[in-house]
Each structure stands twice: as structure tokens, then as C-alpha cells.
Amino acid sequence: PSPPQTLARFLPATLQSNGMRCRDETPTSAQDLLARGQLDAKDFIEVSPDIENTLMEAFIEDDYDGRLHLMTLSMMRRDVDDDRHDIEEIIGVSFWREVPADEMGDWFDVERISKMITKSTIEHEHDSDYSNDVKCRMKLVRSSSIKWIQNALASTDQDKTDTKASIDQLTHSWVKIELIAIKQSYRAHHLGNILLGCTLAKAHEHNEHAILHVAGGGSKNIPAAKLYGRFGFLEVPRHDEGGPFAKPDR
């Protein structure tokens, strides 16, 4: 994804100019927002709200020992009951998780990854929709990602019997974007770009690489696929179709 220093430059001004705020929540603050009806899952995920409910429960109960994070995007609006005052409304939520190296090691199929790195660039099915300057930035991000994987696999190419160094380099410092959701009444305003940018900027403070799953698959959820593509995410095949990740594979 886009380098954190790039995100850090434009996000504060973007948030301020639009009267918005991105905030890291705690289990206590999340419970308070739930009690005030600010985080009703059906407002954000109308098809399968259980996904957000499950993540929220895990966050509040700290099932991941502090590795699951919740970020909210809020906006000030006029209070309908008292037009003399403004109130803060939660318009977006994101959950992201720091993935331990041993868990990431179970996800990678190193042999397949080494075979897949044969080109200096990777094309995305929606690339034709982007302007030339966006394509250039995406190419740089992808080339950098591929170079990182090539370097990590270098010892595997030299010594087939010892892949521990490669595994250690490939599996450290990962996060998984569990959920990005914008409130239904605020969609089609490119707010997903701001929320994902804030999420990645925060995740990149202590981690370098990110992975996510597009609900329904990229071919069915084209808006989500385009959003993630703009941030440099690459679409990969499922493992049963020759993809590099053994799991999670859904």
C-alpha cells in the first residue's frame, strides 16, 4: 500500500477541510458509542451485519490481546432536535489486526510465491479505469512490493535446504484489514479513501505490509476492488486456483 509518509502529509488537511475526524477507539469508548446507538452494524453493513458485530465483540473483549484495533471516521452535523448545536456522527468504521509472524507463516505458500515472481510489474483488472499519474504511482508501489519479495526469497534460491531466513523476512510486520465500512447515508462521496488512508497510516506506524479480503470477491464487489487498488493492493488468486496464500482462503 501507499507509503505512510505520503498518507500522513495529506490526511490531516483533508480531514480538517471536510470537518471530519479519524479516531482510535478503546474498548471503553466503543461500548459508549454502542450505548448511544452510534455503531449500529446495520447502518454500515446491511447485507451481513454479523461481521461487524463479531469484530466489535472481539475488540471489546480483547480476544486478540490488543492486536485488534478499531478506528472511526466522524463528521460534525446539525442536531435535528436543536439546530443551535452541532453533534458528532460516526460515518465510518474500520477494524484492522496485527498478524503474528507464526500465524502469517501458516498463511504463506513460499514455494508458490517464488514461482510467481517472474515479472517486474503486476497488472490489475481495473487498471484501465485510472489516470496515467495514478497508474504511475501504483506501478511504483507494486514494483517496490515485488522487489521486497524477491529479496526475501533470495536465500531460498541459493540454498533450497534453508528457508528460515526467507520465512522470517516474509512473515514479519503484517496487518490484516478486517473491515472498512461507510455508513449507508454517506456513501458515494469517496469517504472510503479517507477512512482506508487513515487506517493504513496508523497501521504503518509499527507494521510494513497489509493484506485484506474483498467481500464477495473483486469481480463482484468492484467498488471495493477499485478502492483497494488505488492504494496499491494487488489481487491474487485463491489458493485452490494457484494463489500464494494457503489461508485464510475465503
pLDDT tens digits for 34-88? 999 888 888 888 767 788 889 999 999 999 999 999 999 998 876 666 666 777 8
Average pLDDT, integer, range 160-181: 72
Q: Cβ distance 15 to 44 under 8 Å? A: no
Judge whether residue 95 has pLDDT over 50: yes
pLDDT in tens, 104-141: 888 887 677 666 554 433 444 455 655 565 555 444 44
| Statement: residue 99 has pLDDT above 80 | yes
Grid coordinates of 162? 534453508
**Is the pLDDT assigned to residue 146 strictly greater than 60?**
no
Q: What is the DSSP string of 131-144?
A: -HHHHHHHHHHHHH
Please state, in angstroms and rounded to a whole number, the distance separating the CA atoms of residues 43 and 225.
21
Could you tell me the CA-to-CA distances from 106 to 67, 198, 208, 245 in Å, in that order?
18, 28, 18, 9
Start-end of H helices in the chain = 4-17, 27-35, 41-44, 50-61, 101-107, 110-116, 132-158, 164-171, 191-203, 222-230
Higher pLDDT among residues 77 and 188, named by residue: 188
Round to whole Å and give the CA distance between 182 and 93: 7
